[in-house]
Structure 1
Amino acid sequence: MRGGFVNHPRDPGGATNQGITQRTYDAYRRGKKLPQRSVRKLTAPERDAIYRRQYWDAIDGDKLPAGVDYVLFDGAVNSGPKQSIKWLQRALGSAYRGQIDGVIGMATMGALQETEDHDALIDRICDRRMIYLRALDTWGDFAGGWTRRVQNVRAAGKAMADDRKDEVAAVHIAGAEAKARIEDARTVPSKAPADAATGGGIGAGGIAGTLQTLQEQLTPFSSSGGWITTLVVALAVGGALLATGGIAYRWYATRQQARLADALDAVPA
C-alpha cells in the first residue's frame, strides 16, 4: 500500500516516497540534525520512525481496536491525523458526544468502548472518507487510485477486526499515493452575486414605484403617461425576476456550502 517514489504534478504533497513527502522527510532530518536529501533515499528505519511519530502516535494507535487502528492510520498518512480522527468521530454517531475536533480524547475513547460492531464502524469511517475525497478539487485526478485504496483499507480493516489476519496482504495501488489534503477542497459558489441580484431587484422595484408616482402627477397635464406606464411595468417585472433569481441563487450557494462543510467534517457536534 505504501508504494514507491512518486511526484505527480497534481499531487499537493509533491515528491513522495512510501507515503512520506519531501517536506515531512526534511523536517525529520532537521530534527535529527542530519543533512537534507531527496526523499528518494528514505530508508526503512527512517520510514518506520516517521510513521510511528507522525501518524501512529498522533491517532493513539496503540489504544484503538484492531482493524480500526489500521483504518485510521492509513487515513492519517493520506490526509493527516486530524482529518482521519474526524472520520472516526463522525462514524461513532450518537455514541460520541464531544466536538468534531479531530482529537482523540476521553469522549472519543468512551464512544469507542460503547461501540461493539467494529466492522460496521469501519464501514462508516470509510464512507466518510470517500465523501471527503469527492469534495476535493483533486478528485478528478486521483479518483481511481483513492477509491481502490479505500476499498482495500476497508477490507483489510475488517479482516483485522475479525481476526482474519491471514487474509490481509500488502498491496501497492498505482495512483493511490497522492495526498488528499483539506487545503485542496473545492470552492463553493459565492453569495455575493445573489446579494447583488436581490439588491438590484429591490432597487428596480423602488424606481418603478417612484416612476408610478411621477406618472400620476404628470398624466393630467400631458400624454407622457403611456411610456411611463411601459417603463414602470418593465422595471417592476425585471426587478421581481432579478430579486427572485438572487434569492434562488443564494439558497443554492448556501446549500452547496453546507454540503461541503459536511463533507470536510467542518460541522458542529
Structure 2
Amino acid sequence: MTFAEAFERLIGHEGGYVNHPNDPGGATKWGITQRTAREAGYHGDMRDLTRDRAREIYLTGYWLRARCDQYHGAIGYQLFDIAVNSGIGNAIRMLQRAAAVADDGIIGPVTLAAISAHDPLALIVLLNAERQAFYTRLSTWEAFGKGWSRRVAENLRYAVGDT
C-alpha cells in the first residue's frame, strides 16, 4: 500500500470541517486538528485548510514519522490510521502489544522481527483489538465510540482485501 492509497482511505474516515463541542482536539478539517496544523506551519483558518495541505501534513507528520512504509502494506495502513486517530506513540505501542513485545514505543529490531513473524491478517486483528480496547477507556467514548467502532470494523474489512 502506498501513502497515496492510504491517504485516500483515511480521508474517507476523516471528512471535512468539524468543530464538535466534545472533541478535545477542537476544530478539525480533513481530520487535522488546529494544533497539528499549527505545528506543521499552517496558520490560516481551519475551514480553509486544503486537501493538498492536509496530504502534506499526513505524509510528513504521520506516515513518515511512524515509518508506515517499512511494514507489509496492510499493516502500514492500519498503523497510519491509528496514528492519525490516536497519536503515533499510542499506535506504535498498540502494534507492539499486538506483536507480543514490550510496548516501549520504539520500533527496533526486536519489534520488527516480531511483526515479521506474524501473519499480517492475524496481527491486524490483534492490533484492532488493542485499538478498540484503547477507545473504550477514553472519557470521550460516549460521544465518539460508535463512530470509532465503525472505523475499526471498516478497517478490518480492508485488512481482508489487503492481506
The TM-score bracket by the shorter chain reads 0.7 to 0.9
Give, as a single letter, the amino acid of the residue that structure 1 aligns with 2:85. N
Equivalent in the alignment of 2:151: 149
Question: For 1:22, which of 17, 31, 34 is the aligned residue?
Answer: 34
Give 1:45-84 correspondences, 5 Å limit.
45-84=52-91
> 1-side partners of 2:32 and 2:131: how far apart?
20
Question: For 1:41, which of 38, 42, 48 is the aligned residue?
Answer: 48
C-alpha root-mean-square deviation of aligned residues, in Å? 1.2
Contact 1:60 1:104 in 2 (8 A): no
Which ranges of structure 1 fall in alignment gaps of 5 or more residues? 31-35, 162-269
Larger Rg: 1
> 2-side partners of 1:39 and 1:156: how far apart?
30
Does residue 1:88 correspond to 2:95, yes or no? Answer: yes
Question: For 1:12, which of 5, 13, 24 is the aligned residue?
Answer: 24
Give 1:222-261 correspondences, 5 Å limit.
none
Q: Which has the higher contact order (CA 8 A, sep 6+)?
A: 1
Equivalent in the alignment of 1:229: none
The CA deviation string for residues 46-96 of structure 1, in whole angstroms up to 9 with x for no partner, is 111110111111211110112111111000000101101111100112xx3
Contact 2:115 2:123 in 1 (8 A): no
Q: Post-superposition shift, 1:45?
A: 2.2
Contact 1:130 1:150 in 2 (8 A): yes
> 2-side partners of 1:28 and 1:60: how far apart?
18
Q: TM-score, normalised by structure 2?
A: 0.88
State the aligned residue count. Answer: 151
Contact 1:71 1:153 in 2 (8 A): yes
Instruction: For residue 29 of structure 1, give the secondary structure of its aligned residue in structure 2.
Output: coil
* Identity rate, percent: 40
Give, as a single letter, the amino acid of the residue that structure 1 aligns with 2:61. Q
**Shift >3 Å, 4+ stretches:** none
Which ranges of structure 2 fall in alignment gaps of 5 or more residues? 1-12
